[in-house]
Structure 1
Amino acid sequence: MREKRISWNVFAQAVYTIALPIAFQNLLSTTASMVDTIMIGSMGELSVAAVGICSQISSLFFSCYFGFAGGALLFFSQYWGAKSEKGINKTFGLSMSFMLLVGLLFGAVAVTKPEFLLGIYTDKKNIIEVAIPYIRIVGFAYPLQVLAVIISFLMRATERVKIPLVSSAVALVVNFVLNWILIYGRFGMPQMGAAGAAVGTLVSGIVNLIILTVFLLKDKETVTLHVQEMFHWGEGFAGTYLSKCFPILCNELFYGIGQMLINIVIGRQSESAIAAMAAFRVLEGFVYAFFGGLADASSVVVGKEIGAGRHMKGYQYVKGFTILCPAITFGICLVGVIFNRPLLSLFGLGAEAMEYGKYMLLIYLAAGTVRTCNYIMNTCYRAGGEAIFGTVLEIICLYTISVPATWVAGMVLHLPFLAVFAFLYTDELIRLVFELCYTASGKWVKPVTQEGRVTLEEFHEQMAQRRKKKQTA
């Protein structure tokens, strides 16, 4: 029995046609959300810190809905490989319902109880006062965000990657222009500061959603959405969907809570440290946006092969992405370390905050590369149908290593800020060892389509032969 491998030329073609457009679209989407922090830099460290705290709330919101988005991408890509339009419709309707519920709940709290949310993350009254108008306005954008994400994921999974890229580019331009007008009070408009940045975020979110919706409804050739099929979840589909989404949801939710606990520690540091962390999160977000986009692309590529029953090709793709993505991350982080001063100067930081930022980037050069490797493998497990292993491993390591170490360093021992920051990524190396072994085993291949299940036994036989060859070599 011969293995069905892919050549590096085939892999490079998949990266070029699918992965890179998705990565750049993700980069543009993330950039749009970070433009606020960058452009508010001229208003001083206090405004930067306030927007940074609000970004942490948005990160928790992201963690609460992304489990459903990740599950949707799993089903979209495998159903796309199996050419099941009905399955794609059901996945879209169910995922959208859950995600919209989360968006409405978070939006309502952000609009009506902003002091409550902000008080969780910091005890600095002056920061909270600046942040309240910003988070109130952004709260209206939360439901729009989840709708844009589910439409974008559907397009990615069905290999229509150019439309989300275009919509993100237009939204970025709209956000930048409105920020420039409203933050600084151009063309006779009032100088709104942080609140002006929030208005730019809201309007750009509306524009992004309109563009995506128009193209989604216009394209009748790739996948046609039918309302009746979207909300017809019989035949055990909802149970199957939730069984796959639940581990991903737990992963994202518990990860978000863990990061919230870490952010509580950071929010009790000095104002310079909080501002430096806000600037670092923006730069980290650029790195995450690119490798996160590549991770989403890997889900599409791997999930399509697994769903179609071509498991060995999916396995080979995972190996390729596990090498490519950390290498790209290291290169991006190295550029950040080399050009740390001009990058950090964009945020209007003081001398102390600038010094913090320089060493934070240096620490992230190693930690970010390892983190990318773990992230890409866990994403590929989900695309293959296995959502439990990566979830359990990440949550155990986060809550037994990273969160306790950071909390003790910052809240008990009151160590210097950079020492506290160094503990944020202490769990990544341990996860790396376990995930490399699990990836090599191929046990994460668990298709949800009939086409994928038919060839699963053949794949297991191929993997058994590979292990025998290694043992006898």
Structure 2
Amino acid sequence: MKNKKSFLYVMLTIAFPIALQNLLTTTASMVDTIMIGRLGESCVAAVGICSQISSLFFSCYWGFASASILFFSQYWGADDEKGINRTFGITFICMAIVGFAFASLCIIRPEFLLGVYTDKEVFIQIGKPYMRIVGWAYPLQVFAVLISFLLRSTERVKAPLICSIVGLVVNFCLNFVLIYGKFGAPKMGAAGAAVGTLASAIINLLLLFIYLMRSECKVRIRLSQMFLFHGGFIRVYLANAFPILCNELFYGVGQMLINIVIGHQNESAIAAMAAFRVCEGFVYAFFGGLSNATSVVIGQSVGAGDHKGAYRFMKRSALFCPAVTFGIVLICALLHEPLFGLFGLGDQALRYGMYMLYIYLFFGAVRTCNYIMNEGYRAAGETRVGTYVEIGGLFLVSVPATWIAGMVLHLPFLAVFSFVYTDELVRLAIELAYTRSGKWVKPVTEAGRKTLPEFKDWLKNRNNRKRNATSIKNN
């Protein structure tokens, strides 16, 4: 991006539609927790624990989804149709395996998964029927994510947004009817919310697939090209996807350990955490959408050989997106009473929720900055450094600190919660320095490789000028 005007234009035309679509997709799964609120804290807490299982599922397939953005966007920038089709095919296979594996476990042994997260039998009994139904939606969700990422990477951002809106409306309407037993329907409680989620997943995937097949684009999905893999392509794909996959898997495990600590707190704390996760999910979905857009733009620029544009866009995004996150969390914090009132929480849980939002006001902005940079690295072809920093910080700082605070020292809940995001500060210092270095630009296309030496020379001269200016200023 050559100037601030072009940056803002991209943010308004590409980033915000993607962010809204991401927000609506996440909202569809969170509507369950919100609408269950009228049934009491126990139902809210149970569905919240089920959502943590969905988060682990998300971590298991997100590595493949993130790798697909790297290839989709760079191949799109280089007008490589075969590369896009091969990427779609191999990612489809990998994500299908994850989706069906999780679906089988949730349908056959939901009590096992729930028992990992909590020792409270009442939550397990409420969550079992919910998980058995939602499990059927998991394979549908991964296919929908893959198609959405392909459409985003090829600059078709409106269709996923519209499909998400339709899916959300279906989810909300069915939840209203089945949770509370309206219009003569049975009162199904948490299981009714699961039916709404499943129906929403079916409608969303169906609409996305129809649009993908019928939309006009210079790059089309062709079955004849999707599974024509050769050794060189598979090696390049796995070399880039494996670090991202490890990142997401280990991150999911780390979050699971943190959630186990939370699941052993008092019932008000668990209910407050379930409500907070909904609010956090809204924020995460929005800045996750911004980061997806950032990845698309950076990947296209690197794939086409415009490394300077990618570098400038990364730096501006790392400042702009955290500011947006801070504003959203601040609004949530100021409106905490009506916001948490949607969940039917008691006084203690409401008090917990308020302080959790104030703690997240700072850490959320820092987390967004880190997330944007890591996603940008991946899109530019660097998949290892972000993984080392994120997983190292999580397992060396956040997980042991939270576990000791909650399971060993048995500190008050808010003290335990304050340790959850402590690794973000360490990551911020490391990733800011790495972003400035520009070493994360590693194109996978021929066009990108040709202009790489020129970009390295530009960075070297730029850094020399900065050092000289600093030296003159100090003297």
For Structure 1 versus Structure 2, the TM-score category normalised by the shorter chain is over 0.9
In 2, Cα distance between equivalents of 1:67 and 1:96: 12
In 2, Cα distance between equivalents of 1:157 and 1:225: 13
Given the alignment of the two structures, is residue 443 of structure 1 paired with residue 439 of structure 2, yes or no? yes
In 2, Cα distance between equivalents of 1:303 and 1:275: 40
Given the alignment of the two structures, is residue 285 of structure 1 paired with residue 281 of structure 2, yes or no? yes
SS in 2 for 1:259: helix
Task: Write the letter of the residue equivalent to 1:273.
Answer: A
The CA deviation at 1:235 is 4.5
In 2, Cα distance between equivalents of 1:155 and 1:143: 19
Q: Is the 8 A contact 1:27 1:286 kept in 2?
A: yes
The CA deviation at 1:13 is 1.1
In structure 1, the partner of 2:73 is: 77
Q: Is the 8 A contact 1:67 1:245 kept in 2?
A: yes
Given the alignment of the two structures, is residue 256 of structure 1 paired with residue 252 of structure 2, yes or no? yes
Equivalent residues in 2 for 1:59-78, closer than 5 Å: 59-78=55-74
In 1, Cα distance between equivalents of 2:99 and 2:239: 22
Equivalent residues in 2 for 1:202-217, closer than 5 Å: 202-217=198-213
In 2, Cα distance between equivalents of 1:43 and 1:382: 43
In structure 1, the partner of 2:185 is: 189
In structure 2, the partner of 1:468 is: 464
SS in 2 for 1:187: coil
1:428 pairs, out of 424, 431, 437, with 424
SS in 2 for 1:141: helix
Given the alignment of the two structures, is residue 140 of structure 1 paired with residue 101 of structure 2, yes or no? no
- Deviation sequence 1:351-387 (CA, Å, 0-9, x none): 1100000000000000101000000000000010001
Given the alignment of the two structures, is residue 339 of structure 1 paired with residue 306 of structure 2, yes or no? no
TM-score (norm 1): 0.99
Q: Is the 8 A contact 1:158 1:222 kept in 2?
A: no
In 2, Cα distance between equivalents of 1:427 and 1:213: 39
Equivalent residues in 2 for 1:357-372, closer than 5 Å: 357-372=353-368
Unaligned runs of 5+ in 1: none
In 2, Cα distance between equivalents of 1:139 and 1:377: 33
1:107 pairs, out of 103, 108, 129, with 103
Q: Which runs of 4+ in 1 moved over 3 A?
A: none
Given the alignment of the two structures, is residue 239 of structure 1 paired with residue 235 of structure 2, yes or no? yes
2:29 pairs, out of 33, 39, 42, with 33
Task: Write the letter of the residue equivalent to 1:447.
Answer: P
In 2, Cα distance between equivalents of 1:197 and 1:150: 24
In structure 2, the partner of 1:323 is: 319
SS in 1 for 2:420: helix
Given the alignment of the two structures, is residue 54 of structure 1 paired with residue 50 of structure 2, yes or no? yes
Q: Is the 8 A contact 1:385 1:448 kept in 2?
A: yes
The CA deviation at 1:225 is 1.1
| Count of aligned pairs between the two proteins | 469
The CA deviation at 1:219 is 1.6
In 1, Cα distance between equivalents of 2:235 and 2:412: 48
- Deviation sequence 1:308-349 (CA, Å, 0-9, x none): 000000100001111110000000011011111110000000
In structure 2, the partner of 1:87 is: 83
1:225 pairs, out of 216, 221, 224, with 221
The CA deviation at 1:155 is 0.1
In 2, Cα distance between equivalents of 1:312 and 1:344: 45
2:127 pairs, out of 127, 131, 135, with 131
1:160 pairs, out of 156, 159, 183, with 156
Give the fraction of aligned pairs with identical amino acids, expressed as a percent.
62
Given the alignment of the two structures, is residue 313 of structure 1 paired with residue 300 of structure 2, yes or no? no
In 1, Cα distance between equivalents of 2:453 and 2:205: 43
1:353 pairs, out of 349, 353, 359, with 349
The CA deviation at 1:241 is 0.4
Task: Write the letter of the residue equivalent to 1:93.
Answer: G
Equivalent residues in 2 for 1:449-464, closer than 5 Å: 449-464=445-460
Given the alignment of the two structures, is residue 176 of structure 1 paired with residue 156 of structure 2, yes or no? no
The CA deviation at 1:32 is 0.7
In 1, Cα distance between equivalents of 2:392 and 2:458: 32
- Deviation sequence 1:54-102 (CA, Å, 0-9, x none): 0000000000000000000110000000010110000000001000100
In 1, Cα distance between equivalents of 2:310 and 2:103: 38
In 1, Cα distance between equivalents of 2:13 and 2:357: 31
The CA deviation at 1:221 is 2.7
Given the alignment of the two structures, is residue 405 of structure 1 paired with residue 422 of structure 2, yes or no? no
